[in-house]
Structure 1
Amino acid sequence: MAEKIIIVDDQYELVDGLRVMLQEELPEVEIETFTSSLAALERARKEQVDLVLTDMRMPAMDGFQFLDELKKLDYALGVVVMTAYGGIETAVQAVKRGAYDFICKPFEFHNLLQSLNNGLENTRLIRKNIKLRRRRSDRTAFADFVGETAPMQRFYDNIRAVARANYTVLIRGESGTGKELTARAIHQESGRRDANLVMVNCPAIPEQLLESQLFGHKKGAFTGADRDYKGLFVEAGGGTICLDEIGDIPLSVQVKLLRVLQDGEIRPLGANKTIKLDVRVLASTNQNLEKKIEQGLFREDLFYRLNVVTIYPPRLSDIRDDIPHLMEHFAKMTCAEQGVDMKIFRPEFIEEMMKRSWPGNVRQLQNMIRRAVIFSPGDEIGLESIKSNNDFPDIPESGDEIMADLPGGVTYKEAKAKIIKKFSCSYMDNLLRRTDGNVSKAAGVSGLSRAAFQKIMNRYKISPAQFRH
């Protein structure tokens, strides 16, 4: 695409004469003229312009305002200002505000030509640097995303657009669609990327501790508060805080969060003064917040404060053509974790994965590939790896089966505990048997962390040693 210069001056004879002369010297450059800065600005909004040559004294919009609007549109756009001899001070001020150069009327044409050539070269360099920075940013921000389909490309574009603003963002999507990755990408693409990103798993923090964890507390504010604690919002200062599963926070904390979003400040528990905040808030949920509002479980005013900008990670069913790429990615990751050579998928296995509905989205696919890798002893992954993996004995399928082994008169709590124990023991025994007592492998198949898996084993006194051969 040819580079473009626009010339702006209210004297038609001047701009038309410059156009003719410049077109002879710069035949590869498209040159357009305007006698109105408003019309020139409208053109710059519609298509990329590489350099603007403008007079500082224009009707309707003064030169400084025109310059400011141009730089808002395109930081890389070069602007050369023309001014009368007595306006040098004004021209210097224009350069300080972002103009590339200035030239005094009347001017020698060769001086103008040199200034414009230099300005075009400067624009090229700035645009090249922006592209390089964007590529580096993309490699970081989108490093954990896998997907080349049109819905994923639109999603990446949406992340970039959302990241540029400083508004609160609500990330809404089904479980397993990558809401946490989305939050990390928004932060990494934003101007706050060099500051902290604090991820808060709201349901994981006990209700009675959530307020002090978020907003901090002073020593002695409550029993056990033996020191000051600044809180997660202050920790995220200058950066971003993401409140995961925002729909689960109690109403008492919702009130205080609303104040943070309204006033941009917090008051730690036990404090007499508020603390001003500079932090961007992201929130995520897989719940129907509108329904929770109707049920009185979520504040409507907080919802509207959070829902300034909404972004939706695509479901796996919406990016079905990306499934083979995701499968390969997860297989490489699992093989590296297990310290084995890369395995390849047989065509029938890929076909089966493409047909499935995946209600658990990408996370469900990831767990499936982990299991398939572990249960494939050779260098190929076929359907037998998932067929054998589905063979879990002793898991009841009907209500009658569930109740058959329970004595009469048992309480709900006792019945629930017995059923959970029976399921857990059966599941763990089966998994440990298949992985030869390797706790790390079994945990990977289950989708649990090793610590969580170990905790269940300890609870039911299951020893992995008995499964090792």
Structure 2
Amino acid sequence: MNKNDPSPTRILLVDDEPDLLSGLKRSFAKRLPDVNVLTAASGNEALDILSVQDVALVLMDIMMGDMDGLEALDRIRSNAPDQTVILMTGYGTIELAVDAIRRGAWDFVTKPLELDNLTRILQKGLERSRLIEENKELRSKISSAGSVPEFIGQSPTMQRLYETIKTSATSEYTVLIRGASGTGKELCARAIHRLSPRSAKPFIMVNCPAIPENLLESELFGYSKGAFTGADKDHAGLFSLANGGTLCLDEIGDIPVNLQTKLLRVLQEQEIKPLGADTSTKIDVRIIASTNADLEKKITEGKFREDLYYRLEVLTLHMPPLIEITEDIPLLANFFLKKAGAEPNVSEKSFSETALTPLFQHNWPGNIRELQNVIRRAVLFCPGSVIDQKHLKLGTPPPALGTTINQDADKEMIPYKEAKESCLDSFTRQYVHRLLKQCNGNISQAARLSDLTRAALQKIIRRYDIDGNQFR
């Protein structure tokens, strides 16, 4: 058999006592039925087996005739540094155990062997090997990807975001994704899940404001039969449905304060208590939260718990607005053009040489979602096969600093809340950019000039992912 052959998990037992070897093989065949037990009567035989077969764990005696276990361990580790090796001996001393661990053994056991304890050690060693292999596969998957699945941009800002997404995917920490509407927060959450070890498990997205406040708790945590009128059977909540996978709480800033308390407990204890239940249930769910809200402001207003905020922001990702990645507009526009052209009853179209020019001059209050809608409309209403500037119906950009809004302007209307937040974001970014430019990136001087504390200004800079070094 060669190393690439699909096969059950293997462990290799190495000892020059035939009776002990056959006895251990029979015992582990019963105790670990899903494991294929191989045997070797010497260190050299073990090395030959390891050269042609993948083995998850090696259990090896130290005192052997042709090659002692420590020498064999050194040679195994030189070929496979991550190999899980457990050494056993009838001459156990503290010095010998320390030397074995120092040379790379994962564990050390003494004879006579106690089978129940040894089985537990083997199970832990096998779990270690499994996790090492999963991490190798994940790193290989990530390193082979030029960017992140379904993301299009190649600007330096997006490249930094991709690296952050990939790093976040390899961990189990809670992630907080921040950014204005239309910047791709949901896409980011799905990418983190897809690149994570949980990718084969469920990914559940919850739009928190879309669920009525009186139903949100039961939807998240579930309920037991008889918990309230109409609860005629047990109902599994979204946390239970996402068990083993990832649950994304979209617009978490809009969750009621009383529910924030219960959510905090879930994050702390990793358990849920359905409505009407007497006991709590352990869960294994990774939480990703997203928001376009100013959580710091909500905290000062008493609308968001500060302890929950710090639980969520272990890893924070800032989704850049389209105005900050304008160099990616051609890539995005052509992607949306091909996507729209693939829809039923739509003929294939292309851009003229000058069609994209106005796209660089627009402020994009609706971000990437707005760009997608602009391209969709152009594809739909362009009568020919070539899209020109006149087919790109752009809304009026937000006013520059110091100007007033023309109430009668002919512009496409977006929801009030979205328009307000986009204008506020645009104002804040422009203000901070001008401020730092005037102060040559000096944060202390900028704080004095803006009448903000240094901490408050730095918080704004972090929230909008502004690189202060570019102004120095």
Q: Percent identity?
A: 49
Q: Distance in 1 between matches of 2:136 and 2:391?
A: 49
Instruction: Indicate yes or no: 2:295 matched with 1:258.
Output: no
TM superposition shift of 1:226: 2.0
Corresponding residue SS for 1:146: coil
TM superposition shift of 1:348: 2.1
Q: Structure 1's 389 and 97: CA in aligned 2 closer, same or farther, altered over 3 A?
A: closer
Q: Distance in 2 between matches of 1:154 and 1:255?
A: 34
Instruction: Indicate yes or no: 2:372 matched with 1:366.
Output: yes
For the 8 Å contact 2:221–2:240, the answer to whether it is kept is yes
For the 8 Å contact 1:266–1:274, the answer to whether it is kept is yes
Partner of 1:321: 327
Partner of 2:291: 285
Corresponding residue SS for 2:336: helix
Partner of 2:235: 229
Instruction: Indicate yes or no: 2:205 matched with 1:199.
Output: yes
For the 8 Å contact 1:371–1:389, the answer to whether it is kept is no
Q: Distance in 1 between matches of 2:105 and 2:149?
A: 35
* Deviation sequence 1:292-344 (CA, Å, 0-9, x none): 01001111111111111111122212221111000000011111114333211
Q: Structure 1's 134 and 300: CA in aligned 2 closer, same or farther, altered over 3 A?
A: closer
Q: Which runs of 5+ in 2 are unaligned?
A: 1-77, 88-93, 107-120, 127-132, 397-405, 409-415, 417-472
Instruction: Indicate yes or no: 2:177 matched with 1:167.
Output: no
Partner of 1:304: 310
* Deviation sequence 1:393-432 (CA, Å, 0-9, x none): xxxx749xxxxxxxxxxxxxxxxxxxx9xxxxxxxxxxxx
TM superposition shift of 1:227: 1.7
Matches within 5 A, 1:41-120: 62-64=99-101, 67=104
Q: Distance in 1 between matches of 2:180 and 2:370?
A: 12
For the 8 Å contact 2:138–2:195, the answer to whether it is kept is no
Opposite residue 358 of structure 2, the aligned amino acid is E
Q: Distance in 1 between matches of 2:272 and 2:335?
A: 42
Q: Which runs of 5+ in 1 are unaligned?
A: 1-48, 70-92, 99-124, 391-396, 400-419, 421-469
Q: Distance in 2 between matches of 1:173 and 1:388?
A: 22
Q: Structure 1's 50 and 129: CA in aligned 2 closer, same or farther, altered over 3 A?
A: farther
Partner of 2:225: 219
TM-score between both structures, scaled by the size of structure 1: 0.57
Q: Distance in 1 between matches of 2:273 and 2:320?
A: 37
Partner of 2:185: 179
TM superposition shift of 1:345: 1.0
For the 8 Å contact 2:246–2:285, the answer to whether it is kept is yes
Matches within 5 A, 1:439-454: none
TM superposition shift of 1:246: 0.1
Aligned residue-pair number? 296
Corresponding residue SS for 1:219: coil
TM superposition shift of 1:127: 11
Q: Distance in 1 between matches of 2:79 and 2:325?
A: 37
Corresponding residue SS for 2:274: coil
Q: Distance in 2 between matches of 1:127 and 1:297?
A: 39
Instruction: Indicate yes or no: 2:359 matched with 1:353.
Output: yes
Opposite residue 64 of structure 1, the aligned amino acid is I
Partner of 1:344: 350
For the 8 Å contact 2:271–2:280, the answer to whether it is kept is yes
TM superposition shift of 1:132: 5.7
Q: Structure 1's 222 and 381: CA in aligned 2 closer, same or farther, altered over 3 A?
A: same
For the 8 Å contact 2:208–2:216, the answer to whether it is kept is yes
For the 8 Å contact 1:375–1:389, the answer to whether it is kept is no
Partner of 1:18: none
Whose Rg is larger? Answer: 1
TM superposition shift of 1:152: 1.3
* Deviation sequence 1:184-240 (CA, Å, 0-9, x none): 011111111111111100000000000000000011211222221010000000111
Instruction: Indicate yes or no: 2:255 matched with 1:249.
Output: yes
Opposite residue 198 of structure 2, the aligned amino acid is R
* Deviation sequence 1:263-302 (CA, Å, 0-9, x none): 1111100000101111111100000001001001111111
TM superposition shift of 1:167: 0.8
Corresponding residue SS for 1:199: strand
Q: Structure 1's 60 and 197: CA in aligned 2 closer, same or farther, altered over 3 A?
A: same
Corresponding residue SS for 2:287: strand
TM superposition shift of 1:360: 1.5
Opposite residue 156 of structure 1, the aligned amino acid is Y
Corresponding residue SS for 2:303: coil
TM superposition shift of 1:142: 3.1
Instruction: Indicate yes or no: 2:182 matched with 1:145.
Output: no
Opposite residue 148 of structure 1, the aligned amino acid is Q
For the 8 Å contact 2:138–2:197, the answer to whether it is kept is no
TM superposition shift of 1:356: 1.4
Partner of 2:423: none
TM-score between both structures, scaled by the size of structure 2: 0.56
Cα RMSD (Å) = 3.7
For the 8 Å contact 1:195–1:239, the answer to whether it is kept is yes
Matches within 5 A, 1:337-416: 337-387=343-393, 398=407
